[in-house]
Amino acid sequence: MSNYAVAMEAAWLVRDVEETDDAIGVAVSEAGKRLNETDKQYVEVEPGVTGCPACGEPFDAAFLAANTALVGLLLEIDVFNADSEEHAERIAKSEVGGALRDVPLEVIEIVETEADEDDETDDGAR
């Protein structure tokens, strides 16, 4: 069994905002609140980034139109004692998806991590 760091992208809709910075702040705050309410404080929430199609430079993943924004969020979770990358992906989606119902999620990266001595007796996500 191995430990994995799983990164997911989420699409978050924010209404009644006038600037992308405000939309990003609201999205991160709302996602964090929903995760905390379901005891998932161990999921890290950050603004997502995307590459500029012209120059490739990264910028915030947020699109604003008619005072409504679609914000891309990056969610990271550590999964312990998974049988494989696919198993880690299923655990991560289950943990995060249960707290963020009706929020589209896509796994973008899975990295195997080294086990700590304390982790060897734990199961699941943390």
Q: Hey, where are the domains in the chain? A: 2-113
What does the pLDDT look like over 2-58, one tens digit per residue? 999 999 999 999 999 999 999 999 999 999 999 999 999 999 999 999 888 888 888
Identify the bridge partners of residue 107 per DSSP, sorted by sequence position.
Answer: 8
Which candidate, 81, 66, 73, places its Cα nearest to that of 112?
81
- CATH class of this structure's domain 2-113: alpha beta
Q: Rounded to two decimals, what is the model's pTM?
A: 0.84
Residue 125 has pLDDT above 80, yes or no: no
